[in-house]
Structures are given as structure tokens and as C-alpha cells.
Amino acid sequence: MSNSKGECRFCNKTFSGRGIGKHLLLCRSKKEKDEMLNGRKNEGYIYHLKISAWSLYWLHIEMKGTATLLDLDDFLRGIWLECCGHLSQFTIHGVRYSSYEEQDDWWGDAPKSMNISLNDVLDFKDKFNHEYDFGTTTELSLQVVSVRKGVINEKIRMLARNNPPVFVCEKCNGIATQMCQACREDYCDECIEEHECGEDYVMPIVNSPRTGVCGYFGPFEE
């Protein structure tokens, strides 16, 4: 389970978590699409970001340089994280950018606002992280894979995503769909019914690093 695979959204070929980043920089179908968009007005910097948790979950996205960390936080919450409105923050070059505004700056180390554009805080090859929820934290690693000039229509465009990882039922070795939050074991739909901890602890297995954590039941919309 070290390296989950995923599909390039442009040519539909499958790559390993390691290979996909390099592929996206070379993919001919993507290049053709990009060239159709480029050359228009409003060219700006576009950031290719890799976002990952362990090597199991990963996303490659492109984002407008004028979009903000707040937009990125929204996106991450939507696709992977949001359960009950916990706080979150990015740490970039040792500086924290928080989802909440802090008034008091006594010690001079209060986090900054996420309402700041990528152009202002990120450079090519930067590595940074994102934490959601300071109780049962989900931590994501982010990396600027490339920065190019061009045009994309939306603030954030998905380039590739890992396929849902397959977990095995603890009891019958079938494909697990549910997890018991109490004992952290995975079960199929049938075996979970007989599991002794009871249904209060049952969580669905979803394609997210927050699977089975706090009240995470998957994204509100796919």
C-alpha cells in the first residue's frame, strides 16, 4: 500500500504517485489544452501544487497565482477534510497563516491571515504544510511542482488524484468499506454488522486522509 496510483485527467493514463508529477509536466494532452487557453488576455502565474498525506493520498492541482491560501484551504476542506468546522493553518517558511484572524499580537508571533495570494507567499520548489484541526490533526504536505505563465478558467483545476485505496476486511478478507473508530479496524458491510464495538463507532472508508477521524463522513459533494 506504499504508492497508490491515479489517473492523469488529460490523457487518462494511470501513473504511480511518484510518476504522476513528472508526467503532468510532460503530458501532451495537457500541453495542447494549455496552449488553447494561453495567449489570451489575463495571463498570470499558475502554480502546480502537489498535496499529499503519507504516500497513499495525493492531489495534483493548478491554481491561479492571484487566488489565495483561503481558496486553497476551502478546496482542501471540501475535498478531503471538513467535518465540524475546525481551525486550520498553513506553515510556509516558518510563517503560519491561519483560518481565523487573531487580534492580539503581544508576542509578535500571531499567525497571519490566509487571505493572501499565492503570488505573495510561494515560489517554485517551496515545500510547506497544512494542518486541519488542532485536536485530531490531519497534516498535509504541499509542494510547488512548477510555476508557469498562462491561463486557466477556474481558480483551482484538478490535474490528478489518487485512486481510492483498497483496504481489506479484518474478518473475511473481502473489500472493506467501513472502519471501527474504536479499534481502528476495517470491515466489509456484512462483517461490520457483527462487530462487537457497535454502530456508534462505525465510519465509512472514503478517499481521504481524514477517513475515520473525528466526524469525517466524506465530502459534502463529489
For binding to Zn ion (CB under 5 A), which residues are involved? 8, 10-11, 27, 83-84, 169, 171-172, 174, 180, 182-183, 188, 191, 197, 214-215
Three cell numbers at 7? 489517473
Whichever of 118 and 140 has its CB closer to Zn ion, that residue is 140
In the complex, the smallest distance separating the C-beta of residue 21 from Zn ion, rounded to whole angstroms, is: 12
Of 109 and 194, the one with the shorter C-beta distance to Zn ion is 194
**Choice between 44 and 215, CB closer to Zn ion:** 215
Distance CA 6, CA 69 (A): 25
Q: What is the closest distance, in whole angstroms, from the C-beta atom of residue 75 to Zn ion in the complex?
A: 18
Q: Nearest approach, Cβ of 192 to Zn ion (angstroms)?
A: 8
Q: Cβ closer to Zn ion: 122 or 218?
A: 218
Residue 213: half-sphere exposure toward Cβ, Cα within 13 Å: 19
Residues pairing with 156 in the sheet: 63
Q: How many CB atoms lie within 10 A of CB 66?
A: 15
Work out how close the CB of 104 gets to Zn ion at its nearest, in angstroms, rounded to a whole number: 26
